[in-house]
Structures are given as C-alpha cells and as structure tokens.
Amino acid sequence: MRHKTFLWFFLPTGLAMLLFIAMPIVSVVIQSIFAPHPAVLLEVENCTPLIGCTTETTIDQQATAALREAQPLGRFVGLGIYFDRGHLAIQEISQMWAANESWGGFFSDLSNLPFYRAMAFTLTFTFIVTPLTILLGLVIALAVNSLHRHLKGLMIFFSLLPMIVTPLIGSLILFWMIDSRGVIGNALVYLAGDPNFSLKASTGLMWVALMVYGVWSSAPFAFVVFYAGLQTLPQDQIEAAQIDGATRWQQVKFVVVPHLMPLVTFVALIQLMDNFKVFEPIIGFSAQAHAQSLSTFIFDDLGGETRQLSSAAATSVMTIIGVAILLSPVLVRTWRDFKGAR
Amino acid sequence: MASRAQRMPTSLRIASSLFVLLWFVLAAFPFLWTVWGSFKVELDFFSIADWTNALTGARTEAVYGSPFTTTGYEGAWIQEEFWRNVLNTGIVCFFVVTISLTIGTLGGYALSRSSYNYTFWLLITALIFRAMPPITLVSGYLLPFFEWNIWGILPTTIIVLVAINQPFTLWMLHSFFKNIPSELDESAKVDGCNQFQAFRRVIIPVMWPGVITTGLFSFLLAYNDFAVGAMLLSESNRTMVPAIAAFLGTTQTEGNVMFAVAAVVSATVPLFILVMFFQRQIVGGLTAGAVKG
C-alpha cells in the first residue's frame, strides 16, 4: 500500500487517537509541573480609637484573578508536586530512614504515606490476583472440558457472566452479599461466632474481599482462552504419554501445560495490564478507607469540590510510567514477532 | 471418541464434577440472588433477623401482601428517573460503536495491508494506549473541555470513548484483516480498482464476522465505562453506571438501597441477553488474540 493511500485510510482513527489520547498525555505532563497560584493576600491594618490596631489578612480578589489570567497554567514548580507529601514524599522518607532502626518500622511509617499505600495495594493486587486467575482458569477449563457436550455450552454461558458484567455492577452485587446483613456476610458472622463481625471493619479482610472479586471477575477470561487451547490438544502426544505409562497428573504436567504455555503468557500479560488498572471494585466496595489503588487515588483527587488537577496529573504520569514498565516484555515480544513475520 | 484408557477414574470424575458445580454456583448464584432479592423490601434483602427472609420475603409480604414487590423498580425508574440514564447509555453506545467501527475498519485495513516499519510503531503505540487506565487521561481532558465549554454533554463523551476504543479496535481488526488473503484485493486492483474501490467491493462483503465481534467488544467498553462518564458528564446527562454510583451516595441515607439494587439488575439484563445471543462471537473474540500468539 502506498504511503499516501495509507495516510487517507488511517487519518480518521489516527486523528482521534492523537487528539484524545496523545494530546491529553502531553497536557497531563504539563499540568503535573505547574501548581495552581496561591491567592494573593493583602494585609490591612485597622485602627480604631481606644481598642488599638489589628492587622487583617484578606484575599486580594483582583490581583489573584489578574495573576491567574496572566499565567493560566499556574506557577512552574518543576518536579515539586512529584516529590511532595502527597506523592513520592522524598523529604518524609529520608526522615523516616534516619529515624527508624529496623526495616519493619520503616515500612510501617511508609504505609502512612498515601501514595505508597496506593502503590502497595495496586502491586499486591496485581501480583496476587494474576497467578490465582490463571490457576483457577486452568482448573475450570480442565474440569469443563471433561463434561458432556450439552453441558459445556451452558457452563460457558454462565462462566462468561462475571467477566462480561460491568465491573462496578459486579462488585456491587458481591458487596451487597458480603454486607454483614447480606447472605455471605451472615454466613461469615455465623462461622466467626461473633455477632459484630464485619468485613468492612478490617483492612486485611477488605483487601482479601477485593482480591476475591478480582479473581472471580477475570477467571472466566483465562478459562475461555485455556478451553480454546484444550480443543487443539495433540491427541497423539497424549496417547504416546499413556503408552509410556504416564499417570493422569503427569499427562497434565508434561503434555497439557506445555501445550498451553503460550496462552498462559498471553493471559498473564493481559491480566497484569488489567489488574494494574484496578479501579471499579474499590468504588463499588466503598473501600477507599482501607484500600486505594493508583486509579482511585487519581479519581479522588479529581472528584469533590476542589479538583486537584496538578496532583492528579502527577499521579497519572507516574501510573503511565508504571504501565510502560509492566508492558516492556510485551513490547519486546511484539518487536520479535514483527521482525520474524517479515 | 474417548478411548477406555482416557476415561477418568470414578473418584476423579466425581471431584471434577463437584468442582464444576462449585464454579457454576460461584459464577451464577450472585446474579440469581440479586435478581430474586430486587423484588423484596430492604429489610428482607438485608435481613438482620433471619437470612431466610430474603428467600421467603416475610417482611415484603407483611408490607405489600405478597412476597414480591416492584417498588424498587418503580422508585428507580420513575422516582429517580433512571430511564433518562438508560436512554443516555443507549445513545452513547450506539454512536460509539458506529463511529469507532467505521474509522477503525479503515485504519485496521490499512495497517494490515502495509508492511512499512511505521505500521509496527503505530501498533505499538496503540498497545501502550490500550494499557493505560482511562482515568489517567481524564485530568488532561478537564481543563481544555472547561475552556471550550464542551464539558458535560454527550457528544464529548462519545468522542472520548471512541478514541479510547480505537487501540483495541485497531488490534482486533488488524489481525482479522491479516487473515483475509491479500490476493483478493490485489486481483481487484489488477482489474482496475483503486485501493478504496478494492476495499469497498471486495473486502467489505467478507469482513462482517470480524466487524461484528469487534463491535461487541466496543459496545461492552462503552456500556461498562465508569471513569470517563463519571468525570465528563454533568448530572443530567449521566449514563447508567455513573448514575448507579451516584445513587449509592444519595439513596443510602434515605434508606432506598433497593432503588440501586433494582437499577443494577436493570443494567445487567441487556448484558445477559448479549451473552445469550453472541456467546460464540464473544468466545471467538477473546481467543482470537490468544491463538495468534
């Protein structure tokens, strides 16, 4: 295809991505190095006879407006926002480092900083949910594959539901069930033997609940991919393994799993990307007090009366960098595929 | 089919069946439970006294004389005007799917038929865009949109969702068009068509299976979106999912959680129908990327 024809075909989609993905990224980066102007303060001395003089500080509305008009982006602060207490908190960390003798104390202090707390949850979520999803998906695929033909279709239909349903809605449905007055919550109260037992009160249990949701909602994806892989399983290899006296477990370990390995990497990469974005379940579970992810951290900055755009922008930039790091193995692989394909 | 050597021993067969049954309950029970409970009053769905009330509807019967009530749905659809949000979601989904398929098909076709180095870089850029959480872009949208006075209206959200949709659409359609032999359009070009005519007369008639699959996923993305809608739409223009999230904030205090439950069930029904009719395409789409590696 000639360059010019390509350009005309690609122009609409390219323009959409340029204007609404690439430009916003630039805009986010710029916002993250500018802080909003502080209000210009005026000190006025009020003197009344007999009482004496008092100085009063007021906001000079005109001067503030003029300053905002002159420099609409705000004042340049460089990487200041990245290093402040709400984000990387360089100063606080060096103080903690000096104050703490042990690693344990340092980490417990570190978990008081909001950005690191969000980072810790996001990474824990990503690296616990992804392997569990793959494992559960594989077991479901093996079990469903041994079912009768008519049951398979029905199982696939119901298995798809947790994945297809809107994440916020899915998490709300689970949240209502684990509420201490809901059906699972009731069962947990009974099992714990404590009438005041509540998942919502404990940070640890809330994390577990969020991860259970994560596995529940993405296991279907792993299942469907592995199930499709099982349909192309080389029967002759399985038979050869049987003739050599392999047990069922050995067949799975030495024939089925190696056959599915490319699919495992595929699912792992997609899941790493998606779990790193974890967002809706935290909103649905109203768990912001116990767990923040990078996405909810941005969301909370943007919402509410005071939109803290600069702070949100700084977190956004760091999230994008995190995504790029997670993605680097995929990029290398795609490059190799592309080179190989030509 | 299965030889005797491959037949499972009974114990394993039972264990495997039990596991499938367990997964079936895990996957389906929450939905059935919520649908059942949405026809009850709050004190039944969230029962402190006895959890079986949620099944029998004892309190609902005491209040309304029947174990089922549609007050939750009436409250959500009529009192809280949820139908407006449903309408908005309908508009957004329709336009997002149409626009994004139209421009995505052209772009994906071009990417699949060009072998220059820049196609690779475009695809890689699209991959990075696909991996970014949409919420990271939102703070970049807000200032310009306020400035141009286009914040809060549906067309803005539609265009943003189309753009966010493009990377995925391009990848999907790119690999789909790769599977259509390029001899087809080459021969059309030999017969005197230019590239666009070849696309229109030869490729369009055979591309529908791939386009439908991609369209399904575009629809899901637009339907399931929360971050963009919640941040870029004004209160009167909200789509379903942000509206449900907003419900929670306002209704919990008034003791009308059942409105939210009814709204959640209402929003799940279209997805249910979608899976029922397009199961084959959804499974095909999920595995298409995987099988290709």
What does the pLDDT look like over A80-91, one tens digit per residue?
A: 888 888 888 888
B254/A14: higher pLDDT: A14
Question: Mean pLDDT, 10 residues at a time, over chain B (293 residues)?
Answer: 62 89 92 90 79 79 84 87 93 96 94 87 88 89 88 93 93 89 88 88 89 93 92 90 84 72 93 91 79 46
Q: Which residue of A has its CA nearest to B120?
A: A338
Start-end of H helices in chain A: 3-17, 23-32, 61-70, 80-83, 90-99, 103-110, 114-145, 149-164, 167-178, 183-192, 203-231, 235-243, 248-251, 257-276, 280-284, 294-302, 309-341
Window from A46-50, A125-129, B194-198 with minimum mean pLDDT? A46-50
What backbone torsions phi and psi does residue B226 show, to the nearest 5 degrees?
-120, -45
Alpha-carbon gap: B288 to the closest alpha carbon of chain A (Å): 9
Chain-chain contact of A172 with B166 (C-beta, under 8 angstroms): no
Instruction: Let me know the angle formed at the C-alpha of A218 by A214 and A224, rounded to the nearest 5 degrees.
Output: 165
Confidence band, pLDDT 50/70/90 cuts, at residue A127: very high
Evaluate if residue A92 carries a pLDDT over 70: yes
- Check if A325 contacts B (Cβ < 8 Å): no
Residue B236 DSSP symbol: G
pLDDT one-digit tens code per residue, A18-45: 999 999 999 999 988 888 777 777 777 7
Contact yes or no for B236/B80 (Cβ under 8 A): no
One-letter amino acid of B188: A
User: ipTM, 2 decimals?
Assistant: 0.90
- Smallest CA–CA separation between B6 and chain A, in Å? 8
A280 Cβ under 8 Å from any chain B Cβ = yes
Report the C-alpha gap between B273 and B266 in whole angstroms. Answer: 12
| Interface check A332 vs B, CB under 8 A | no
- C-alpha to C-alpha distance for A60 and A58, rounded to whole angstroms: 6
Which segment of A179-193, A271-285, B110-124 scores lowest on mean pLDDT?
Answer: A179-193
Question: Are the CB atoms for B232 and B138 separated by under 8 Å?
Answer: yes
Interface size A-B, in CB pairs within 8 Å, comes to 286
pLDDT of residue A341: 67
3-state secondary structure at position A202: coil
C-beta atoms of B279 and A157 within 8 A: yes
C-alpha distances in Å from residue A207, one per residue of A188, A281, A282: 16, 11, 10
Cross-chain residue pair A327–B127, CB shorter than 8 Å: yes
* Percent share of chain A, pLDDT over 70: 99
Which of B12, B96, B135 to mutate to test binding with chain A, by most A CBs within 10 Å of its CB?
B135
Which residue in this structure is represented by tokens 């509540």? A198
* Chain B interface test: which of A134, A169, A265, A294 (most B C-beta within 10 Å): A169
CB contact A319 to B (< 8 Å): yes
Task: Report the alpha-carbon distance of residue A179 to residue B34 in Å, rounded.
Answer: 13
> Which pLDDT score, from 0 to 100, does residue A328 have?
86
> Given an 8 Å threshold on Cβ–Cβ distance, is B110 in contact with A6?
yes
The angle subtended at Cα A290 by Cα A289 and Cα A292, nearest 5°, is 85
Residue A90 touches chain B, beta carbons under 8 Å: no
Closest CA to A200 of A185, A217, A213, A215: A185
Under an 8 A CB cutoff, do B31 and A303 touch? no
- Ordered structural domains, chain A, with CATH: 124-271 (1.10.3720.10), 292-342 (no CATH)
Please name the member of B124, B126, B139 whose beta carbon is closest to the beta carbon of A312. B139
Residue of B nearest to A182 (CA): B46
Structural domains in chain B? 97-237+277-291 (1.10.3720.10)
How high is the pLDDT of residue B84?
Answer: 92
Tell me if chain B has a CB within 8 Å of the CB of A265.
no
Q: Which of A332, A15, A299 is nearest to B231 (CA)?
A: A299
Q: Which of A156, A262, A302 sits opposite B138 (nearest CB)?
A: A302
Q: How far is CA A185 from CA A207, B46, B120, in A?
A: 16, 10, 51
Are the beta carbons of A330 and B26 separated by less than 8 Å?
Answer: no
Test B143 with A27 for CB contact under 8 angstroms.
Answer: yes
Question: How many angstroms away from the CA of B27 is the closest CA of chain A?
Answer: 6
> Most A CBs within 10 Å: which of B3, B14, B112, B136, as the mutation test of the A interface?
B136
CA distance B250 to chain A (A): 14
Name the residue of chain A whose CA is nearest to B279's CA: A157
Rounded to whole angstroms, the Cα distance separating B135 from A301 reads 11
Say whether B51 and A140 touch across the interface (CB within 8 A).
no
Chain B hits for A161, Cβ within 8 Å: 27-28, 31, 271-272, 275
> Who has greater pLDDT, A325 or A333?
A325
Q: Which of A17, A147, A335 sits opposite B20 (nearest CB)?
A: A147
CA distance A47 to chain B (A): 43
Distance CA B259, CA B257 (A): 5
Residues in B touching A312 (Cβ below 8 Å)? 138-139
Write out chain A residues lying below 8 Å of B16, CB-based: 142-143, 146
Q: Do B245 and A146 touch, CB atoms closer than 8 A?
A: no
Nearest to B135 among A2, A238, A295 (CB): A295
Rounded CA separation B251/B263 (Å): 12
When comparing pLDDT for A189 and B267, which is higher? B267
